[in-house]
Amino acid sequence: MIEMHSVVAGYGGGDVLQGLDLSVRPGTITCIVGPNGAGKSTVLRAISGQIHPREGEIRLAGSAIHGHSPAAVISAGIVQVPQHNGLFADLTVRDNMLLGGYLIRRDKARLRRRIAELEEVFPIVRERADEKAANLSGGQRRIVEFARALVLEPRMVLLDEPTLGLDPKASALVFDSTRMMRDLGTTVLMVEQNVRFGLRLASHGVVMERGRVLLADSSEALLARPDMAAMFFGSSAPPADPAEPEPGTGTGPGTDPQREDAHL
Amino acid sequence: MTLLLQTLIFGCLIGGVYALMSSGFTLIFGVMDVINLAQGCLLITGAYLSWWMWQRTGLDPLLLGVLSSAALYGIGWLLYKGVVARVQRVDPGLTLVATFAVAVAGEGVIALVFGTSDRSATPSYFNTSFHLGSLSVPKAQLYACIGALVVLGGLYALLRGTFLGRAIRACASSRGGAELVGIDVERAMAQMFALGAATTGFGGAALSVLYQFLPDSQDIWIGRVLCVVVLGGLGSLPGALAGAVVLGLGEALTSTYWDVRWTTAVPYMLILAILLLRPQGLFGITLRREGARA
């Protein structure tokens, strides 16, 4: 699906990615983990066209996308859900959803159909349609961001730390919704600080350090490695993480916003 | 009592026109964070264009405001692409100086093209009124106010109900987020700036009918525009409407009950008072992004 070869990229103050090689298979959830400053979010920014690699290449299903504008990358089938300010806070949920289909705005029938389909999958989109996004809780915003990302039926969605700032209940909702995206046929590449959460959610894992890929394997294999435990959990066995939700403990994506509110 | 009512009617009608004249300024600030000091110059350009077309065609100068708006849309686009966008890339704070320079240069160009004599458009309804009992409603002010409210309504509808409007509001909320849904932020900004300039097309047409003007009249008008947006809260379209009515009433009451010579001082006194007493604007509206709410 996505192939990154010898990618060197950064923000002007220096190269964050230093010859990165990464491969993501179609139909998978791949989670990138690593210490702060490893360049995890930079990978997503390079793919989505927010920054352009100085060297190397990025290919989507064989076609080069490095150097493309964000709009061109979206047209190619990749949508990113950013870490912060994903939704336009002053706009209603409906307007946010419509903007998710900005590139197909002239095909009104398709846009209406897609939003109606996503309202079935993510009921909160319909229930809170007329409310400003600023009025939603953190977890609810994430669900609307996910729904918006799917308006264009992308081949791949990039999630940048989707559980950042969320409590366990909302994180569980993110867990279920991400799996649902995968089940709808979308490949997911995500960055996650919560290593156990991310790797349990994903089918594949990538460990990054200093702008390069250190390890890449199935997430089960990565979780089982003793050196991973030492690297990320500070002991030979991963400790229980009270903040980590179990799969399927969410109330379903946005089905009970009031109940979710009570936990946020 | 009649005099008071008459003054209030006059003040409200002028307020409607002031609101349109200020709408472009407040939207450009609300979305782009740019204080466009060339807005007064654009307004006077709109007035000259409408006056010039009226002289040559004899058509209604307010209706000719539609053509002036189209011309000013183009001028606004060029101004954004040629000056504002370039300066913003270097230092966003410098846009204030750059737009001031454009205003000064623009005044010179207008003087070269149209001369430095007083101008005003005088259509058939100029200086005539509708009469309601003992009250009279000046036709020029009424038509200008109705036209201004129609244009403001159109602008509001555009921002709320079209993809261009949503894209502009999205850019005001988060430029990075706008990019990630595929919006060409640079293009949306240019369209926003051009739209803000286009509002001065009809605003200038109204000015050409209601007032005499010279190239340097832009100084007075940028003062009024600043007063309106400071009163309403920078960046707010509804705030601009409210601020404009307050200024219109303030000027009308001053000229009727005090001295007409003090009228031009009213905007500056209001700016000073509002900045000292209530810097967030009369209506408690916060600064940025409210423009995006339209």
Tokens of A258: 């009031």
CB contact under 8 A, A100 and B181: yes
CB contact under 8 A, B182 and A86: no
CB contact under 8 A, B166 and A74: no
B121 φ/ψ sector (left φ>0, alpha ψ -120 to 50, else beta): beta
CA distance B181 to chain A (A): 6
First to last CA, chain B: 36
CB contact under 8 A, B169 and A70: no
Chain B residues with CB inside 8 Å of A90's CB?
Answer: 169, 172-173, 289, 292-293
* Domains in chain A, number: 1
CB contact under 8 A, B182 and A75: yes
Chain B residues with CB inside 8 Å of A87's CB?
Answer: 177
DSSP B117: S
State residue A224's pLDDT score.
Answer: 87
Position B114, amino acid: F
* Angle value at C-alpha B132, between B128 and B133, nearest 5 degrees: 120
Write the residue in A79, A85, A89 that is nearest to B176 by C-beta.
A85
pLDDT, tens digit (0-9, with 9 covering 90-100), for B212-241: 999 999 999 999 999 898 888 877 788 888
Write the residue in A71, A90, A100 that is nearest to B289 by C-beta.
A90
CB contact under 8 A, A102 and B183: yes
Query: How does the average pLDDT of chain A come out, rounded?
Result: 86
Chain B residues with CB inside 8 Å of A95's CB?
Answer: 166, 169
CB contact under 8 A, A98 and B182: no
Determine the CATH number of domain B2-114+135-293. 1.10.3470
Domain residue limits at A104: 2-263
Mean pLDDT of B50-61: 96
CB contact under 8 A, B173 and A89: yes
- The pLDDT-based confidence of B292 (bands split at 50, 70, 90) is very low
- The pLDDT-based confidence of B108 (bands split at 50, 70, 90) is very high
pLDDT, tens digit (0-9, with 9 covering 90-100), for B76-97: 999 999 999 999 999 988 999 9
At residue B162, does pLDDT exceed 80?
A: yes
Alpha helices (H) in chain B, listed in sequence order: 2-32, 39-57, 61-79, 85-90, 95-114, 139-161, 163-173, 175-180, 185-210, 218-232, 237-257, 266-277, 290-293
pLDDT, tens digit (0-9, with 9 covering 90-100), for B273-284: 888 888 777 765
Q: Which residues contact B267 (CB under 8 A, 6 or more apart)?
A: B223, B224, B226, B227, B247, B251
State residue B260's pLDDT score.
Answer: 85
CB contact under 8 A, A74 and B182: yes
CATH label of the domain that carries residue A85: 3.40.50.300
Distance in angstroms (rounded) separating the CA atoms of residues B169 and B294: 9
CB contact under 8 A, A102 and B169: no
State residue A233's pLDDT score.
Answer: 60
State residue A259's pLDDT score.
Answer: 33
Distance in angstroms (rounded) separating the CA atoms of residues B167 and B176: 12
Chain A residues with CB inside 8 Å of B170's CB?
Answer: 88, 91, 99
Asked if this assembly's ipTM is beyond 0.85, the reply is: no
Position B284, amino acid: G
- Cβ pairs A/B, distance under 8 A: 66
Position B39, amino acid: Q
CB contact under 8 A, B173 and A88: yes
CB contact under 8 A, B181 and A75: no
B73 closest CA partner among B46, B36, B105: B46
- Quick one: A212 exposed, middle or buried, by C-beta within 10 A (0-12, 13-18, 19+)? middle
State residue A262's pLDDT score.
Answer: 29
Mean pLDDT of A157-172: 89
pLDDT, tens digit (0-9, with 9 covering 90-100), for A40-98: 999 999 999 999 999 999 999 989 999 899 999 999 999 999 988 789 998 999 999 99
CA distance A46 to chain B (A): 12
Mean pLDDT of B185-199: 94
Chain B residues with CB inside 8 Å of A79's CB?
Answer: 180
Distance in angstroms (rounded) separating the CA atoms of residues B24 and B158: 13
CB contact under 8 A, A82 and B177: yes
At residue B264, does pLDDT exceed 50?
A: yes
Determine what percent of chain B is predicted with pLDDT higher than 90.
Answer: 72
State residue A234's pLDDT score.
Answer: 56
Q: What chain B residue is nearest to A100 in terms of C-alpha separation?
A: B181
Write the residue in B169, B174, B180 that is nearest to A70 by C-beta.
B180
B171 φ/ψ sector (left φ>0, alpha ψ -120 to 50, else beta): alpha
State residue B284's pLDDT score.
Answer: 52
State residue B61's pLDDT score.
Answer: 96
At residue B267, does pLDDT exceed 50?
A: yes
State residue B283's pLDDT score.
Answer: 65
Helix (H, G, I), strand (E, B), or coil: what is residue B118?
Answer: coil
State residue B286's pLDDT score.
Answer: 45
State residue A238's pLDDT score.
Answer: 47
- HSE-CB at B234 with a 13 A cutoff on CA atoms is 18
Chain B residues with CB inside 8 Å of A100's CB?
Answer: 181
Give the C-alpha distances (Å, rounded to integers) separating A102 from B170, B171, B183, B189. Answer: 11, 13, 7, 16
| Count of beta carbons in the 10 Å neighbourhood of residue B180 | 26
Mean pLDDT of B66-80: 97
- The pLDDT-based confidence of B103 (bands split at 50, 70, 90) is very high
Provide DSSP, chain A: -EEEEEEEEESSSSEEEEEEEEEE-TT-EEEEE--TTSSHHHHHHHHHTSS--SEEEEEETTEE-TT--HHHHHHHTEEEE-SS--S-TTSBHHHHHHHHTGGGTT-HHHHHHHHHHHHHHSTHHHHTTTSBGGGS-HHHHHHHHHHHHTTT--SEEEEESTTTT--HHHHHHHHHHHHHHHHTT-EEEEE-SSHHHHHHH-SEEEEEETTEEEEEEEHHHHHH-HHHIIIIISSSSPPP-TTPPPTT-S-STTS-HHHHHHH-
Domain boundaries, chain B: 2-114+135-293
Chain A residues with CB inside 8 Å of B176's CB?
Answer: 50, 82, 85
Mean pLDDT of B189-206: 95
State residue A239's pLDDT score.
Answer: 43
B interface with A, Cβ–Cβ below 8 Å: 163, 166-167, 169-170, 172-174, 176-184, 289, 292-293
- The pLDDT-based confidence of B118 (bands split at 50, 70, 90) is very high
Q: What chain B residue is nearest to A154 in terms of C-alpha separation?
A: B181
CA distance B148 to chain A (A): 26
Distance in angstroms (rounded) separating the CA atoms of residues A180 and B230: 49
CB contact under 8 A, B174 and A70: no
Distance in angstroms (rounded) separating the CA atoms of residues A46 and A50: 6
First to last CA, chain A: 36
State residue A50's pLDDT score.
Answer: 92
A147-156, B135-144, B283-292: range with lowest mean pLDDT: B283-292
CB contact under 8 A, B184 and A71: yes
Chain A residues with CB inside 8 Å of B169's CB?
Answer: 88, 90-91, 95
